[in-house]
Structure 1
Amino acid sequence: MERIGKQLKSETVVDRLAFDRGQFKSSGGFTRLNTTFDGELEAILNEINGAIWEEIS
């Protein structure tokens, strides 16, 4: 989660593609992190991004 937070600071939107490049790519990318989050990473990212954009608008 800490690494995801750092990514959010550097990129406004963190999506599946963001995890397949940069610092996450060398650690297995989206696929590995999704396993860590029991297959729920995409739903978690959607919720985080929705909350960010809701607060902005």
Structure 2
Amino acid sequence: MYEFRCGSPVCRTRFTAPTEDELMTEVARHVVVKHRVAKPTKSLVQFVRDNTIREIGVKP
């Protein structure tokens, strides 16, 4: 399971998805709709992936 917590100081959006790919689909939609970024750059996508997404519910 993967979790996204928006890094914007004015946004408290949080959601989860079973796979990182599914989560990134939702993140892309969030960025376009909520933050009005019509064409996110590769560097923005990488920043979001590195700083706002984490794997949760993993047992050792």
- Asked if these proteins are the same fold (TM beyond 0.5), I'd say no
Bin for the TM-score computed over the shorter chain: 0.3 to 0.5
TM-score by length of 1: 0.39
TM-score by length of 2: 0.38
Greater helix share, structure number: 1
